[in-house]
Amino acid sequence: MLTIVSILVILPSTMSRAAWLASACGCLLALSLYFYKNRKAKKNFEKFVCLIAGKWKYVFVFATVFLILGAYFLKKDSADGRFLIWKISTRALTQHPYGVGLGHFAGSYGDCQAAYFASGAGSKQERYVAGSPDYAFNEFLQIGVESGIHGLLLFTAIICFAFYMGIKSKRYAEIGSLGALLVFSSMSYPFSVLPFVIVFVFLLASFVPENRPAVSEKKKCKHATIVCFFLLSAIAVAGSYSRIPTYHAYKKLNTVFMLKIGGLHNEALSLYAEIYPELKHERHYVFDYATLLNEDGQYDKSNHVLRQGMRISCDPVYYNLSGINYQLMKDYEPAESCFRKAADLVPNRLYPYYLLAKLYLEKELYDQAVEMARIVLTKEPKVHSQAVDDMREEMRKLISDMNEYAF
């Protein structure tokens, strides 16, 4: 009862519609299976279904529609953002049916979203809510994009078999729990959080039937258990040993931060280069390393590091910094391409258009510079900040200077 009261108090305050729906679906699934399979309660269950389908069907339909619309309008922009992520993720899945590899979802998603908006597609609302997600907010789509259709089919087969074994062994509570987790995973990213993965594995294991071996077979089972234990222990030790360099790399990363704060950039760069092979899949580290290389004037090497970041993240900051590097090297064509892709990737951000205006001004393409400056002044940003005001003030000055020059 204490657990139930805690859930009823905490769950509404989370404002997580996915959690609400998952809880409701899990409870309904467990109760439905129990009442349907229980002979004594089956008749009452059938009467209840007939009542809902008969006299109360309009009330049931109205209540369902009301709850769905209420959940949608509760956080409309968030819901529209999820729909866009699912649409682009589906496009990525169709373009890469064999998968893009584990950990490369965001890079593939970014390419698809940039191409989607660059083609002129996308409504005004989609352009406004577009972001740079690291997850698909749907584990089925993310597994499909990263592991391919065959990986998605294998995962689905495991789930179906688990439900089959659960129904067969009458584990209705576990089925409800798994159903709740799967509903939640279709609107969020629980399998990227370790506790949820542990729960998922234990739920699958709970469906394994308890076959009690005969006395003559107990010794064989005991020997098999010992062998499996030592085998799994060896695998665990080997896996842990292979992660030791990564552990040391993270410890050195803390040292790098101290060196940067102390102004020892050369020493920080040397340490960044040393730990790059172990941490090149960490997007924040990759961007920090590329930024430090940019500040040191190593623009070509900075772009090389940024290309790795573009494979593991869809944040437009990688394209912005890469374009700045090309511009500092006087290589204007790829610089423009990077700024354009950043603008297409997340259309509600003003910074790429600001960089394009500065680039065109440097190239003495004044008409195009004024056009980009007007976009910065008229486009409504998703998040307003002091940086937006500073950029707009600079663009007003640019347009004013161009008008005086034309006069």
User: Does the pLDDT of residue 17 top 60, yes or no?
Assistant: yes
How many angstroms separate the most distant Cα atoms in the chain? Answer: 102
Q: Comparing C-alpha atoms, which of 371, 378, 322 is closest to residue 345?
A: 322
Listed in sequence order, the residues at least 6 apart from 380 whose beta carbon sits closer than 8 Å to its beta carbon are 128, 348
pLDDT digits (tens, 9 = 90+) for 198-214: 999 999 998 887 766 55
Do 190 and 19 form a contact (C-beta atoms < 8 A)? no
Tokens, residue 48? 């209840």
Q: Residue 301: which H helix or E strand, with range?
A: helix 299-312
22 Cβ neighbours under 8 A, 6+ residues apart: 180, 181, 183, 184, 187
pTM passes above 0.85? no
Residue 123 banded pLDDT, cuts 50, 70, 90: confident
- Write out the DSSP string of 274-296: HHHHHHTT-HHHHHHHHHHHHHT
pLDDT at 35: 78
**In this structure, are residues 26 and 177 in contact, taking their beta carbons and an 8 Å threshold?**
yes
| Tokens at 154, concatenated | 């294998």
- Asked if 130 contacts 346 with a C-beta cutoff of 8 angstroms, the reply is yes
Q: What is d(CA 332, CA 197) in angstroms, rounded to the nearest whole number?
A: 47
| Region 279-285 average pLDDT | 88
pLDDT tens digits along 341-397: 999 999 988 999 999 999 998 888 888 988 999 998 888 888 778 888 888 898 888
**Of residues 176, 150, 144, 145, the one with CA closest to residue 162:** 176
Q: Which of 363, 361, 364 is nearest to 376 (CA)?
A: 361
What's the pLDDT tens digit per position in 145-196? 999 999 999 999 999 999 999 888 888 889 999 999 999 999 999 999 999 9
